[in-house]
Each structure stands twice: as structure tokens, then as C-alpha cells.
């Protein structure tokens, strides 16, 4: 079972460059999420989506954009990369939002901005 798939796994960007982190899930989940993980800080929610065409900001949305054109895909875009965006990015999905429903995570994208 593929679950949640993220690409690329690693990437180095220069300051000011842009890129899109890809995320796709094959579980037909309506809810999808983007997190960033910084050392010793746990995970912080960047954006989430409750279904195709509907997205909303999380705790740390500045510098990022998302779109959700299909149930399966939820790409995260960095328009002007900054060193503060060096992090590990995780995409997750769930059948319901919150409550007893756990989230399913991809293996992450490790992004360095130099």
C-alpha cells in the first residue's frame, strides 16, 4: 500500500528560488495537511485542506501556498525561498479531521536553503 507519497525526498535551493513539494495519497481521504518539523520543536501545521478546492491556513503559513484540485494531490509551494524555510516537510492525510482519527504521514521532504 502506497499511503502518502512525497517527492522529492531531498532538495537544496538557493535563496529566492521557488519550488513545489508534491504530495499524493491513495486512501481517498478528504483531509490533507502540511507540516514542518524543526529540531526539538515537534511539528507545526502550515496549511490544511478539507477537500478538493478548499484550503485553510495553519499555525505557520507565511511564505507558503497550497492548492487542492483533486482529492489525491496537495502540493505545497515556496515562492521565494528563505533560509528560515530550511526544514523537514511532512504531508499527512486523514479520513476525518481530528477527534479519534489518526493522521497518516509521508516520509518527508528534507529541504535546505542556502
78 is a contact residue toward another protein (CB under 8 A)? no
Which one of 1, 14, 28, 40 is in contact with another protein (CB under 8 A)? Answer: 40
Reduced to 3 states (helix: H, G, I; strand: E, B; else coil), residue 43 is strand
Q: Cell for 79?
A: 515562492
Greatest alpha-carbon span in the chain: 41
CB 71, min distance to another protein, A:
20
CA distance 32 to 39: 23
CA distance 46 to 36: 7
Q: Which is nearer to another protein, 71 or 93 (CB)?
A: 93
Which one of 32, 46, 74, 106 is in contact with another protein (CB under 8 A)? Answer: 106
List the one residue out of 31, 30, 12 whose CA is nearest residue 81. 12
Which one of 90, 93, 111, 113 is in contact with another protein (CB under 8 A)? Answer: 90
2 is a contact residue toward another protein (CB under 8 A)? no
**Interacting residues toward another protein by CB under 8 A:** 4, 40-45, 90, 92, 97-100, 102-108, 110
Amino acid at each position: 500500500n502506497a499511503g502518502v507519497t512525497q517527492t522529492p525526498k531531498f532538495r537544496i535551493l538557493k535563496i529566492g528560488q521557488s519550488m513545489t513539494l508534491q504530495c499524493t495519497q491513495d486512501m481517498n481521504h478528504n483531509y490533507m495537511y502540511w507540516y514542518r518539523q524543526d529540531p526539538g520543536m515537534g511539528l507545526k501545521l502550515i496549511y490544511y485542506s478539507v477537500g478538493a478546492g478548499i484550503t485553510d491556513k495553519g499555525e505557520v503559513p507565511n511564505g507558503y501556498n497550497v492548492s487542492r484540485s483533486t482529492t489525491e494531490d496537495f502540493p505545497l509551494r515556496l515562492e521565494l525561498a528563505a533560509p528560515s524555510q530550511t526544514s523537514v516537510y511532512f504531508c499527512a492525510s486523514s479520513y476525518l479531521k481530528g477527534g479519534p482519527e489518526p493522521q497518516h504521514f509521508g516520509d518527508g521532504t528534507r529541504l535546505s536553503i542556502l
